[in-house]
Amino acid sequence: MEQGYLTLETGEVFEGQLIGADQDSIGEVVFNTSMTGYQEIITDPSYAGQIITFCYPIIGNYGINALDDESITPALAGVVIGDLCETPSHYQSIEKFSEKLKAAGVAGIAGVDTRLLVKSIRSRGTVKGYLGKTQQTNFPQSEKEPLWVEKVSIKKTEYYKNSGPHVVLIDFGHKKSILSALLAENCAVTLVPYNTSFEKIQALNPDGVLLSNGPGDPMDLKKWFPEIKKITQHYPTLGICLGHQLIALAHGAKTEKLSYGHRGGNHPVKELKTGKVKITAQNHSYVVMDHSIDEKVFDVTYRNVNDRSIEGLQHKQYPIQTVQFHPEAHPGPSDTAHILTEFVHQIASLGETHYAVK
């Protein structure tokens, strides 16, 4: 393997061996603390434009299978790992981790001191990085970030027939596991692009609407806030991750960027109604700001145990609920899978007189 470098905006340089696609890459360097699930992570559209650092020291040990991709085409900018395993052992493995990166056109670097890199991100905050064959003495000037949601959202509506309630899934960069979870609950699902208007959704006559996860700053989608607000005022709605942030913003709240975000499958979240703590899967940079929530409009339902940030909301008037974490949890624990199940039961009971004929 050829020697390569990850150069941070701060001037720090991390050496390693290049893997994956033979190309230079630039992106926001983030880290994920999950011990497993690297296949789902690198195919999660929420990582669009980012360089992922894996905290777990060995990556690739169980290979890549044909089942666990969360999207067809990975949208991330690059991968940074410690030890690369090129001899995977698992009965479902069909290719190596490095082969997956190369086939997907994703650059990577192995043999990096990831503990030191993560410590730097945690102390300085998230920064841009340049991954390539040479060190960067003059870091490329930062350009305006593209609208990542536009890059990962579907372009045409897709319909998945089923005999249960009809859910419109608005695709801001959805994970396949969210769609799979709805289908497993017997829902008929119409998957629509992120910029689908209220009128077009109304024409689909859904029983409920789910706003998916996705990449980037939620404020980049400001022009669609009025449409999102109308949708939530007319249909039972669940927002997941970016969807949570967008619903809050559409109803007058504000968001801010965390220093280094929440990414991993081990984030403790307290359910305020019961006092129980759930272990959750998360992947986000932005959070809904506490002081911006109108207490006459929303109840806070979940809080992060580590930093007290808002992890869930419930509207006082409309059947709207949101969660910052991933209840479908691929990869991650299934502590909060009941949220999706309860949402489906809710819309089934509200629409039981007509949904079966759709």
Instruction: List Cβ neighbours of 354 (8 Å cut-off, separation of 6 or more).
Output: none
- Half-sphere exposure in the Cβ direction for 165 (13 Å, CA): 26
Containing 319, the helix (H) or strand (E) segment is: none
Helices (H), 33-166: 38-42, 97-104, 114-124, 148-152
Lowest mean pLDDT among 133-142, 145-154, 212-221, 279-288: 133-142
**Residue bearing tokens 């022009």:** 223
* For residues 96-123, average pLDDT: 97
**Residue bearing tokens 């027939």:** 161
Residue 258 is predicted with a pLDDT of 97
Q: Which domains does the chain have, with CATH numbers?
A: 3-132 (3.50.30.20), 148-357 (3.40.50.880)
**Residue bearing tokens 């974490």:** 325
* Cis peptide, bond prior to residue 331, ω within 30 of zero: yes
Tokens for 175? 């994970």
Residue 262 scores a pLDDT above 90: yes
What is the pLDDT of the chain when averaged over all its residues?
Answer: 95
Active site residue 326: yes
Task: Give helix then strand counts, H and E, for the chain.
Answer: 9, 19
Residue type at 195? N
pLDDT tens, 269-326?
999 999 999 999 999 999 999 999 999 999 999 999 999 999 999 999 999 999 999 9
- From the list 69, 229, 94, the residue with the least C-alpha distance to 237 is 229
Q: What is the DSSP string of 211-237?
A: E----S-GGGGGGGHHHHHHHHHHS-E
* For residues 165-185, average pLDDT: 97
pLDDT tens, 2-53?
999 999 999 999 999 999 999 999 999 999 999 999 999 999 999 999 999 9
Active site residue 241: yes
Residue 330 scores a pLDDT above 90: no
pTM higher than 0.75: yes
Within its chain, how far is the Cα of 209 from the centroid? 18
Composition of the chain by helix, strand, coil, percent to 5: 25, 30, 40
Q: What is the DSSP string of 248-279?
A: HHHTT--EEEEEEEEEEEEEEEEETTT--EEE
Integer angstrom CA distances of residue 19 from 15, 60, 85, 250: 13, 12, 12, 42
Choosing from 185, 241, 244, 311, the catalytic residue is 241
Integer angstrom CA distances of residue 282 from 41, 93, 170, 323: 11, 26, 19, 10
pLDDT tens, 199-244?
999 999 999 999 999 999 999 999 999 999 999 999 999 999 999 9
Q: Going by DSSP bridges, is the β-strand pair 83-84/127-132 parallel, antiparallel, or unpaired?
A: unpaired
Q: What is the share, in percent, of the chain residues with pLDDT greater than 70?
A: 97
Choosing from 174, 267, 326, 330, the catalytic residue is 326
Task: Report d(CA 215, CA 109) in Å as an integer.
Answer: 23
Task: Report d(CA 293, CA 105) in Å as an integer.
Answer: 42
Lowest mean pLDDT among 15-29, 179-193, 266-280, 337-351: 337-351
Lowest mean pLDDT among 110-124, 173-187, 339-353: 339-353
Residue 354 scores a pLDDT above 50: no
Choosing from 9, 40, 311, 328, the catalytic residue is 328
Residue 358 scores a pLDDT above 50: no
